[in-house]
Structure formats: C-alpha cells, structure tokens
C-alpha cells in the first residue's frame, strides 16, 4: 500500500464451480469498481485450486468474487489464510456454514432465528423413509442440495410422484439434500454490510421462485425498493438478517434471503457469504439505496478486510 492509500488488489474470479460464468462477471465488475476507487485491481482467473502465481503478485488484499464450491465453502479462504494474504468476506468456518445449508439451518435453530421446518436426506436414505417424513410437511415442499449456490438444484415438489426427480436433481449438486416445508409468501433479500442491514429489496419473479434463471437471465424479474412493509415488520426482517450474519460468524458483507409468509411470520432461508457483484446483483443495489455507490462499496469492503487482518495479527502477537 502506498502513501496515498492505493491498494494492490487481486480480484479472484471464475473458479471451478458451475457458477464460473457468473463469478467472472462479478469479478470484472469488482475490478472496474476498485480501479474507479483508485486502486490497482489485478484480475486473477482461478483455474487451479492452488492459486499459482498469487504470491508473486504480492497483493495487499484479495477480493474473493468466487461463487459456489471452492469459493464459498471455505476452501479458498483456508488457502489464503495459509498464504498470509488478507481477503474479503467471511473466514473458512463461516463460509463453510453458509454454503452448507444444513449447518446454517442448525445454527439458525440454535440462535432462535426463524427458519422453515426441514429435515436432511442423506445419500443412503431409503425412499420410503423419506416419503414418511414428508407426510408431516404435506405438499408442496422444497427440495434443495445442502451445498450449492445460485439456487442450482432447487425444486418445488407439488406432488409425491415428483419427489424422486427432485432428489435426483438436488443430488447432482450435493450428496445430502434438504427437504423444507414450503412457505407461501413474499420473497425479500437483505444485504448486510459490516454487521448492519442495508435497505431491503423485494423479489418479484415470473417464475416459480427466485431460481438461477430468475437471478441472472429473466428480464421479467423485478427488484422492488423501497419495499412496502409495516415499519415493525421491516425492522424485524433487518434484525433477523443481522442475527443470521452474526450466528454464522460472518465478516464484511453477506446477502440474507427471507420470506414473509402468508401466515404472518418471517423465515430466514439462507445466508450468501459471497453475494454477486454483477450488474443484476442485489447487494450493490441495496448499497446504492443506502447512498453507497459501487466503487465506494468495493473500496469499503477491501479496507474492512485489511482492518480485520491487522487486528487479527495484533491479537496473535499479544497471545504468542
């Protein structure tokens, strides 16, 4: 870092998952935002999990714009920790929990954060046992992979004869699947920046739910802000998002998806520890609603990463 505060930032993008193309779009947008903020942004396309050449770049900080497996599951975070390179976003354990929907669900329950009823389905679980458990929930229900992003492998199961196909779809992305009670209601997302909720966004989709196509391809998807909610309910949703961020031990930024059910209750669906930074992405939109333009958002996140890395180094030196 030079005297003017200009940083050398390696923007990690691409990656090895099914979300590679989205990650490339996020990374390119971040690199442009960081350059606009006055930093030296170095795009680094991750095609090798060992990150060859990254040490030689000698970045002040890495901006992790990797979505899906390897990027969001704590793997790359552990590698960066071992390299001694500060990085944006949550650490290895919080990342692992955010990616593992079952682990996240258990954390929500431990911290009394409202979430839809669920049960896990292991790779060896028999069909009849699964069907017996689904009877308690009734139909429709939701079937999703335990570890996947961008709603890949998620199905709404409306009839019992659709269950096996939904499980097969989920298991293409993760050995363990998750069956959830289906919640009828309005879908919202809350960005959380350094522990504080950004303005809420309502997701109005023409498809069954906010799936991959709705997120990245469907021009009919609408992002509504400001949202129309009673002030007390709005505060409860923001507080639930902040509590979910804290429950997983997250850092810097996340996006929390919620549903306000027709039963009058709020439910946290999941925490995205590396939200998108594409032109269609929701965290930058929420930040803009809070008066934080894209370049300043990118700058704030890399500076938070450096600050936390310095604090951790001081803590270790005091306990050494």
* 3-class DSSP state of 116: coil
Two structure tokens written together for 43:
């795009």
Classify domain 97-114+184-289 at the CATH class level: alpha beta
**Annotation marks residue 216 as catalytic:** yes
Looking at 15, 17, 18, 19, which residue is catalytic? 19
Looking at 73, 100, 180, 270, which residue is catalytic? 270
Two structure tokens written together for 182:
């289906």
Q: What is the pLDDT of residues 147-163, one digit of tens each?
A: 766 577 899 999 988 99
pTM (2 d.p.): 0.90
**Annotation marks residue 40 as catalytic:** no
Q: What percent of the chain has pLDDT over 90?
A: 72
Residues 279, 285, 287: CA angle, nearest 5 degrees: 130
Looking at 151, 255, 267, 281, which residue is catalytic? 255
Looking at 72, 257, 281, 299, which residue is catalytic? 257
Q: What is the mean pLDDT of residues 54-76?
A: 95
Cα–Cα distance between 203 and 185 in angstroms, integer? 11
List Cβ<8 Å contacts ≥24 apart for 224-228: 225/199, 225/200, 225/201, 225/285, 225/286, 225/289, 226/199, 226/200, 226/289, 227/188, 227/200, 227/201, 227/202, 228/202
Distances (CA, A) of 134 to 61, 106, 138, 181, 320: 47, 19, 6, 9, 52
Delimiting residues of CATH 3.30.470.20 domain(s) in the chain? 97-114+184-289
Q: What is the pLDDT of residues 269-305, one digit of tens each?
A: 999 999 999 878 999 999 999 999 999 999 999 999 9
Q: What is the mean pLDDT of residues 168-174?
A: 86
Is pLDDT above 70 for 63?
yes
Is pLDDT above 90 for 146?
no
**Which range has the top average pLDDT, 150-154, 176-180, 245-249?**
245-249
**Annotation marks residue 257 as catalytic:** yes
Looking at 23, 146, 150, 281, which residue is catalytic? 150
Cα–Cα distance between 97 and 100 in angstroms, integer? 5
Residues 294, 33 contacting (CB under 8 angstroms): yes
Delimiting residues of CATH 3.30.1490.20 domain(s) in the chain? 118-181
Looking at 216, 234, 260, 267, which residue is catalytic? 216
**Annotation marks residue 270 as catalytic:** yes
Looking at 15, 98, 149, 276, which residue is catalytic? 276
Q: Which residues contact 279 (CB under 8 A, 6 or more apart)?
A: 25, 29
Which of 1-10, 105-114, 175-184, 203-212 bottoms out in mean pLDDT, i.e. has the lowest? 203-212
Q: What percent of the chain has pLDDT over 70?
A: 93
Which of 26-40, 126-140, 275-289 bottoms out in mean pLDDT, i.e. has the lowest? 126-140
Would you call 70 exposed, middle or buried from its count of C-beta atoms within 10 A (0-12, 13-18, 19+)? middle
Count other C-beta atoms under 10 Å from residue 158's C-beta.
13
Cα–Cα distance between 271 and 275 in angstroms, integer? 9
Residues 22, 150 contacting (CB under 8 angstroms): yes
**Annotation marks residue 128 as catalytic:** no
**Annotation marks residue 272 as catalytic:** yes
Looking at 18, 26, 272, 281, which residue is catalytic? 272
Q: What mean pLDDT value characterizes the chain?
A: 91
Q: Which CATH superfamily is domain 118-181 in?
A: ATP-grasp fold, A domain (3.30.1490.20)
Cα–Cα distance between 161 and 94 in angstroms, integer? 36
Q: What is the pLDDT of residue 45?
A: 98
End-to-end CA distance of the chain: 26
């Amino acid at each position: 870092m030079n005297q003017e505060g200009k940083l050398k930032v390696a923007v990690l993008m691409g990656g090895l998952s099914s979300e590679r193309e989205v990650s490339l779009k996020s990374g390119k947008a971040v690199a442009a935002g960081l350059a606009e903020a006055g930093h030296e942004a170095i795009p680094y396309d991750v095609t090798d999990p060992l990150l060859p050449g990254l040490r030689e770049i000698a970045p002040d900080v890495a901006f992790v714009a990797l979505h899906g497996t390897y990027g969001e599951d704590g793997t790359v975070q552990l590698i960066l920790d071992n390299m001694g390179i500060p990085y944006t976003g949550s650490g290895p354990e919080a990342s692992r929990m955010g990616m593992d929907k079952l682990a996240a669900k258990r954390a929500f329950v431990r911290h009394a954060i409202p979430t839809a009823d669920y049960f896990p389905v292991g790779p060896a679980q028999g069909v009849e046992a699964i069907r017996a458990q689904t009877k308690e929930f009734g139909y429709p229900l939701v079937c999703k992979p335990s570890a996947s992003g961008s709603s890949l492998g998620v199905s709404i199961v409306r009839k019992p004869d659709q269950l096996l196909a939904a499980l097969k779809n989920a298991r293409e992305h993760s050995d363990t699947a998750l069956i959830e009670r289906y919640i009828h209601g309005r879908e919202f997302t809350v960005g959380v920046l350094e522990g504080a909720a950004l303005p809420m966004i309502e997701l109005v989709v023409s498809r069954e739910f906010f799936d991959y196509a709705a997120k990245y391809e469907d021009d009919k998807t609408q992002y509504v802000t400001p949202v129309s909610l009673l002030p007390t309910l709005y505060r409860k949703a923001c507080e639930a998002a902040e509590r979910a961020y804290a429950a997983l031990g997250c850092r810097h930024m996340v996006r929390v998806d919620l549903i306000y059910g027709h039963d009058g209750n709020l439910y946290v669906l999941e925490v995205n520890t590396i939200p998108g930074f594409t032109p269609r992405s929701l965290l930058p939109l929420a930040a803009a609603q809070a008066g934080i333009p894209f370049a300043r958002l990118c700058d704030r996140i890399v500076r938070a990463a450096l600050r936390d890395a310095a604090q951790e180094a001081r803590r270790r030196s005091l306990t050494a």
